[in-house]
Each structure stands twice: as C-alpha cells, then as structure tokens.
C-alpha cells in the first residue's frame, strides 16, 4: 500500500495521502501503517481513537491538551468534507501563532498529522461530516485547553462566517491569554 507524506508550511505538520484500491464493490485502503509512518518522521504511538459527527457549518476547536499529556493527532474525514487547521502554540517556535489548513474529505484520501504543541480545529463544509482521529495520549479533562477560533492574532481564513460553536468553544481565550506549556528551546 502506498502513502505520500508532505510537510506543510509549518514542517511539523504533515499531510498524508493514502491510496485507495477500487472495484465494483467499492474500495479498500490502509490509513495507517506504523512502519511506514515511522520511516516518514511520525514516531508517536497512537493510543486512542475519536469519532465526531457534525452538521454543516459546525466548527470544533481550537483544542489542545497540555503537557505532560499533550496529544498528537492523525485526522481523517470518513464522510463529508472538512477544513482542518493546525496552529503552532509552541513558545519559541519560529512559526508560533501561525496556522496551516487543508481540506480533508471522504473522497480525497488525505489525512493531517498534527504533532503535540499545536491547537487543532475543523469546520464542516458538506451537509454533514464524520471525522475520526487517532491521538497519542488518552483524554485528560484537567489538561484540556483551547484558543478561540477567530483570534485576530492568528487570523485563520475559515471558509465559514458564522460557525455553529459549542458553548465551551465560544468562550475559549485568545492565544495571548491561553494556558500553554509548550516550549521549543
């Protein structure tokens, strides 16, 4: 099975494309193979899988989990289409406060690897979307944090103007006030 790995403008974030094998029954694809991911710089062990179902216009994020239980994520849309975003929140990083975004869909065979030290969010572009993602640490509610989706200092170009937000996500702080403990020396 073939994968293609592309480092984005923030090189720690990696776009992964997988190959689909189609016939009249449908298709088959491998979406993760540890040996190939290791050979391409993704060394983390994934320990938990998450699944979300969302309607058009829903925006989830920007979320992260603080160290020592920080989470890397491997994100895949299994139905519908999303705009997936990673924001560098590592103090001392040359790309601190910068973001990258990619469209992930059930049809395009793309996943986004987001390492620990990044805030993550996505908005739904299709009528509905199902998103699954692997994480490198189990959920730890006491370390769950976030940054407001429309922080002008980050200036993400979201493809929705008035997203549907959870009450929690609507109250997240600006990056400048967020509780972050990620640092690059």
Which residues are part of the catalytic machinery? 63, 133
Q: Are 14 and 7 in contact (CB under 8 A)?
A: yes
Torsion of CA 100, 181, 69, 52, to 10 degrees: -40
State how far the Cα of 144 lies from the Cα of 69, in Å rounded to an integer: 9
State how far the Cα of 153 lies from the Cα of 99, in Å rounded to an integer: 11
Q: Residue 11 has which token pair?
A: 């090189």
Among residues 26, 33, 43, 28, the alpha carbon closest in space to that of 3 is found at 33
CA 117, distance to chain mean position in Å, is 12
State how far the Cα of 95 lies from the Cα of 65, in Å rounded to an integer: 19
Among residues 156, 145, 143, the alpha carbon closest in space to that of 97 is found at 156
Q: Residue 82 has which token pair?
A: 């999303």
């Amino acid at each position: 099975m073939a994968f293609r790995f592309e480092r984005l403008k923030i090189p720690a974030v990696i776009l992964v494309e997988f190959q689909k094998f189609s016939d009249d029954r449908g298709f088959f694809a491998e979406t993760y193979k540890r040996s190939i991911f290791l050979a391409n710089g993704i060394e983390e062990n994934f320990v938990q899988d998450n699944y979300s179902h969302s309607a058009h216009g829903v925006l989830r994020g920007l979320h992260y989990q603080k160290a020592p239980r920080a989470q890397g994520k491997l994100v895949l849309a299994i139905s519908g289409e999303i705009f997936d975003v990673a924001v560098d929140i590592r103090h001392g990083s040359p790309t601190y406060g910068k973001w990258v975004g990619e469209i992930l869909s059930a049809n395009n065979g793309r996943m986004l690897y987001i390492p620990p030290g990044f805030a993550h969010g996505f908005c739904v572009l299709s009528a509905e979307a199902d998103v699954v993602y692997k994480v490198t640490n189990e959920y730890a509610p006491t370390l769950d944090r976030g940054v407001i989706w429309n922080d002008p200092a980050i200036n993400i170009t979201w493809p929705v103007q008035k997203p549907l937000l959870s009450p929690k996500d609507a109250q997240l702080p600006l990056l400048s006030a967020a509780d972050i403990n990620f640092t690059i020396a």
